[in-house]
Every structure is written in structure tokens, then in C-alpha cells.
């Protein structure tokens, strides 16, 4: 097993780049077959990744089953993260942050993952019908029962983080963060640094677009990104022009666009841990190679200058998904 540079997430020391497992069985198309997905997970562990992120929502449990099946015999070699609140309810994506629902989803996750303990367990979204203190309280009880090791939040604001942290220390805040999604810089990134909360950056290469994984024809029907305005006309063409500029900068720096995105994130603070997802072993190795490079301040600044907060065209989420996000928005930011 290769050794990679590390960062701290709560009580855990993890590889400075983790692996988001979602795309192996959820949201994006095409998806790999089970054997290919298992092979990628085991390759990631062999390559030094020690931070694996899944959720009850992904594939309505199929992703947790995949991770448990592929990595169960090596459980002691990595930090395991999963999430509740967003999950399957009557065959549909549902939101329920009540203590009873959290306890039920956790039991299902433990069974699917083939474990009796999940290292880091997130509230996947804020349920506006349930005070955050009640949802966090349910996780405190799960921790006291030995079923989880640390508590995290996802896509929540600095104000919500502070309320949650007053109940119990929050080990990690997971939110989308990439050169074209700068919202964490409004307040959450600094709040995490102040409270000692790790910031886990999901979709760090723009859901594949910033890495060159999306062309002018967009994404296949049925891919979750097809419902995200930035991936569809009239916005897609403008955003691909941003990618061209990023590609040129990457070529000048002798790096790939994905590596520029990951290096940029790693330079935003020692408490930032990106978790890119991929279905390709070659892309996984490309991502991890980022850790072997130096990232001078002038290169980080050049990436910043390519992506002012108003650079992307279109809202980040469609209306229904935006309604489930508690993160801060910029003045004038388009919201579906």
C-alpha cells in the first residue's frame, strides 16, 4: 500500500485526497459494472487513499453495499464516511432529519456496509422541519452507542455549523467547492478553520466539466447533471469556454486541468480535503499525482483570476435541489 501525504479530519488522519464513491453507482452516466467498481475501490486503497465517502442516498443503498463488499476485508486500513437524512423514502429521494429517521437509516447503513461502526457520519442536508440541534442530538446518541465515531454536516451554512457545534464538536463540513463554486469562501471555510472542523470538498473538478469530462453535447439523458442549469443550454457553451481557459493554464503549468483544481483546493487551507470521484483508474491516479507537485502562490492566484464568483453561467442547482441546500449564496448569484 502506497503512503500519501495526510490531513486531519476530526480524530482521523486521512490521505490528503480522498475518494467520493457516489459516481460508481449513482447520479452520473455511464456507470461501471460491479466488478470494475470494486476494482477501482481496491486500487484506490492500494494507491494510498485512506478516506472513502459514501451515503445512504447513493443508489438507494447500492453504493454502501458496493463499498462494504469491495473493502470489507480491509476495514482497518481506511476511514469510512457515510451520510443520513437524504435517503430513499417510498421509492423516492426523500429528506427526513428526525431522530427516528436518522436512527433507522444508520442501522440500514451499518448492515449494507457490513460494519458495526462508521467512522464519520454526516447529516447529508438540513431538514428545515427539524431543528439542527435535534438531528445532531440523534448522532450524539449514536456516537455514545459506539455506532459512529465523529459527526459531520453537508451543504450547510456557517450559522448552522455554529448551532450544531454548540451541541457537539463537528468533525467535518462537506460542501461543493471548486474553482467555479466559491460559495464556501463567503463564511463556511473560515468558520471551519475557527472551530477546528475539516472542510471536505466534494465535486472538486466541477462534476467532471472542469476536467474535460463534458463536451458541447452535454451529458446523457438520465444523468443528474442534465437537470443542473450549468450543464445545459444556454449555459453550457459559456462554461466550456471557461474550461478552455483552464486547459490553457494547465498546459502552461505542465499539469492537467483536474490537477489544477485539486492543487488549488489544497492551497486553500490545511483543513481542506478534496474527495474527487471517478470511475476511471487512470483518472484516479492522475488525481493522486497532484500530491507530488508544488503549488506556488502565483499559480493558485492565476486559477483564482480565471474564476471570479460571477464567471460560471447559470445556477449551480435546479430549483428543487437548491431548496435543500443551506449554504450561503453571493449577492446576485443566479438561483434556479
Give the separation between CA 210 and CA 115, rounded to whole angstroms: 35
Buried b (16+ CB within 10 A) or exposed e, 246-275: bbebbeebebbbbbbbbbbbbbbeebbbbb
Domain of 82, CATH number, reads: 3.20.20.100
What pLDDT is recorded for position 15?
98
What pLDDT is recorded for position 164?
98
The model's pTM = 0.97
Question: Residue with C-alpha cell 463540513?
Answer: 173
Tell me the average confidence (pLDDT) per consecutive run of 10 residues in the chain, 336 residues long: 94 98 96 98 98 97 98 97 92 92 97 98 97 98 98 98 98 98 98 98 98 96 96 97 97 97 96 98 98 93 95 93 92 86
Give the separation between CA 258 and CA 293, rounded to whole angstroms: 13
- Taking the C-alpha atoms of 175, 181, 185 and 191 in order, what is their torsion angle to the nearest 10 degrees? 0
List the grid coordinates of 140: 450524539
- Is residue 224 a part of any domain in this protein? no
Please provide the size of the chain in residues.
Answer: 336
- Is residue 306 a part of any domain in this protein? no
Per-residue pLDDT tens digits for 83-140: 999 998 888 889 999 999 999 999 999 999 999 999 999 999 999 999 999 999 999 9
- Is residue 183 a part of any domain in this protein? yes
What pLDDT is recorded for position 37?
98
Can you point out the beta strands (E) in the chain?
Answer: 6-9, 12-15, 19-20, 51-53, 79-84, 86-89, 92-95, 118-123, 148-154, 172-176, 198-202, 272-274
State the catalytic residues. 58
Give the separation between CA 25 and CA 113, rounded to whole angstroms: 14
- Is residue 332 a part of any domain in this protein? no
- Is residue 241 a part of any domain in this protein? no
What pLDDT is recorded for position 1?
72
Strand 79-84 with 51-53, pairing:
parallel
What pLDDT is recorded for position 293?
94
| Domain range enclosing 30 | 6-208+266-293
- Is residue 193 a part of any domain in this protein? yes
Give residues with Cβ within 8 angstroms of 168, minimum separation 6.
Answer: 136, 139, 140, 143, 151
Give residues with Cβ within 8 angstroms of 311, minimum separation 6.
Answer: 180, 242
State the total domains in the chain.
Answer: 1
- Is residue 99 a part of any domain in this protein? yes
Asked whether 74 and 115 are in contact (CB, 8 A), the reply is no
- Average model confidence (pLDDT) across the chain: 96
What pLDDT is recorded for position 328?
96
How many angstroms separate the first and last alpha carbons of the chain?
Answer: 45
- Is residue 314 a part of any domain in this protein? no
Amino acid at each position: 500500500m502506497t503512503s500519501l501525504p495526510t490531513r486531519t479530519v476530526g480524530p482521523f488522519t486521512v490521505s490528503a485526497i480522498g475518494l467520493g464513491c457516489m459516481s460508481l453507482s449513482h447520479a452520473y452516466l455511464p456507470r461501471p459494472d460491479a466488478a470494475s467498481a470494486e476494482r477501482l475501490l481496491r486500487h484506490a486503497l492500494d494507491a494510498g487513499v485512506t478516506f472513502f465517502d459514501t451515503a445512504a442516498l447513493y443508489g438507494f443503498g447500492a453504493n454502501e453495499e458496493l463499498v462494504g463488499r469491495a473493502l470489507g476485508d480491509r476495514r482497518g486500513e481506511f476511514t469510512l464516511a457515510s451520510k443520513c437524512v437524504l435517503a430513499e423514502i417510498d421509492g423516492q429521494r426523500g429528506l427526513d432529519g428526525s431522530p427516528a429517521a436518522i436512527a433507522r437509516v444508520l442501522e440500514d447503513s451499518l448492515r449494507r456496509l457490513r460494519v458495526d461502526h462508521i467512522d464519520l457520519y454526516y447529516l447529508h442536508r438540513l431538514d428545515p422541519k427539524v431543528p439542527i440541534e435535534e438531528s445532531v442530538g440523534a448522532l450524539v446518541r449514536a456516537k455514545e452507542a459506539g455506532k459512529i465515531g465523529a459527526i459531520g454536516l453537508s451543504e450547510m451554512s456557517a450559522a448552522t455549523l455554529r448551532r450544531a457545534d454548540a451541541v457537539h464538536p463537528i468533525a467535518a463540513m462537506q460542501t461543493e467547492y471548486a474553482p467555479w463554486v466559491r460559495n464556501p469562501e463567503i463564511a463556511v471555510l473560515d468558520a471551519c478553520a475557527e472551530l477546528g472542523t475539516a472542510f471536505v470538498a466534494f465535486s472538486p473538478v466541477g462534476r467532471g466539466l472542469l476536467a474535460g469530462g463534458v463536451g458541447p453535447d452535454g451529458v446523457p439523458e438520465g444523468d443528474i447533471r442534465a437537470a443542473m442549469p450549468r450543464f445545459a443550454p444556454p449555459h453550457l457553451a459559456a462554461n466550456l469556454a471557461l474550461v478552455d481557459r483552464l486547459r490553457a493554464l494547465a498546459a502552461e503549468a505542465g499539469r492537467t486541468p483536474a490537477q489544477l483544481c485539486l492543487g488549488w483546493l489544497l492551497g486553500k487551507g490545511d483543513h481542506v480535503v478534496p474527495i474527487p470521484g471517478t470511475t476511471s483508474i487512470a483518472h484516479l491516479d492522475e488525481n493522486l499525482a497532484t500530491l507530488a507537485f508544488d503549488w506556488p502562490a502565483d499559480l493558485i492566484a492565476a486559477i483564482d483570476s480565471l474564476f471570479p464568483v460571477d464567471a460560471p453561467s447559470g445556477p449551480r442547482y435546479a430549483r428543487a435541489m437548491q431548496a435543500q441546500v443551506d449554504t450561503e449564496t453571493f449577492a446576485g448569484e443566479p438561483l434556479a
